[in-house]
Amino acid sequence: MNKLNVKLVKYDMTKTKNRNRKDMLVDNKSEHAVRTQLERIHKGEKVVTIHEIVWDEAQIQEVDRKTQVNMEQTFTGVVKFFDMEKGFGFIAPHEEMDDLFFHKSACMENIPRDKDIVEFQVSEGPKGPSAIKVKIIDLD
């Protein structure tokens, strides 16, 4: 998952008021994500008030554009591992990207086995990028 840039945040902590922080990375575009990151930075001290958040809108639009392109693009790879009992596995893409998790419910026709060559699309899952629309294109 891509981190999003907060250009500026103005806030108060329990011990200090009128704080500013520039160029902070957060997990998603929400006040909760900003608050969580600030509390990590300040080692557990609580955020009392957030007065202003200025997002890096150009960076967010670029992340959205890249995500949309990846979701429409089809990739190929090799099934590294699939556990039939648990119903999930991992694909090693031929393209330069990390291995991708996939669930048996993401399989279009047959469920692939280890070393099968598959094509798939990428979607954002609960724990990061996942393979969807998995289809066997060559049996090993």
Averaged pLDDT, 76-95: 94
Domains observed in the chain: 4-69 (no CATH), 73-138 (2.40.50.140)
- d(CA 78, CA 80) in angstroms, rounded, equals 6
Q: Is the pLDDT of residue 4 over 70?
A: yes
Write the secondary structure of 40-100 as one string of H (helix), E (strand) and C (coil): HHCCCCCEEEEEEEEECHHHHHHHHHHHHHHHHCCEEEEEEEEECCCCEEEEEECCCCCCE
When comparing pLDDT for 71 and 92, which is higher? 92
Query: Would you place residue 127 in the very low, low, confident or very high pLDDT band (cuts 50, 70, 90)?
Result: confident
55-64, 88-97, 126-135: which has the minimum mean pLDDT?
55-64
Q: Write down the pLDDT at residue 108.
A: 87
The answer to whether the CB of 127 falls within 8 A of the CB of 81 is no
Q: Write down the pLDDT at residue 83.
A: 93
